[in-house]
Amino acid sequence: MRHEYGNCSFCGGPVEERLVSVDYRTKTGLVIIENVPAGVCRQCGEQYYTAEVAKAMEKLASEALAKKTVTVPVYEFPASANL
Ligand SMILES: [Zn+2]
């Protein structure tokens, strides 16, 4: 999927689409989302996301953060135990 980003609103440079890795911060934590299609300014590196991409990242991040996992040690009860 290709999007039009127009020129960079900071420096006016050309913005091209690339797949980037985003450190997405929410109130509850940080999620790293890879291969996000973003417009990247070739001059200053500023990144732009379309509304659809921003929405999808928000959804992904909330899903990822909802899956909070707790590590619990698992022990096998010894079958040989003489009880
Ligand atoms: Zn720029």
Q: How far is the CA of 54 from the centre of ligand 1 (A)?
A: 19
- Cα–Cα distance measured from residue 45 to residue 47, given in angstroms and rounded to the nearest whole number: 6
What secondary structure letter does DSSP report for 66? Answer: H
Say what the pLDDT of residue 57 is. 95
- Compute, in angstroms, the gap from residue 11 CA to the centroid of ligand 1: 4
The more confident residue out of 23 and 81 is 23
| C-alpha to C-alpha distance for 55 and 70, rounded to whole angstroms | 28
Q: What CATH number has the domain bearing residue 10?
A: 3.10.20.860
Ligand 1 center–CA 68 separation, angstroms: 37
pLDDT per position as a tens digit, 11-22: 999 999 999 999
**What phi, psi does 48 have (nearest 5°)?**
-125, 140
- What are the tokens at 53? 């991409």
Which H or E run contains 20?
Answer: strand 15-25
Total tally of structural domains belonging to the chain? 1
**Which domain range does residue 49 map to?**
1-83
Distance 23 CA to ligand 1 centre (A): 20
Q: pLDDT tens digits, residue range 25-65?
A: 988 888 899 999 999 999 999 999 999 999 999 999 988 88
**Two tokens, residue 42:** 């070739």
Q: What is the pLDDT of residue 74?
A: 86
Q: How confident is the model at residue 1 (pLDDT cuts 50, 70, 90)?
A: low
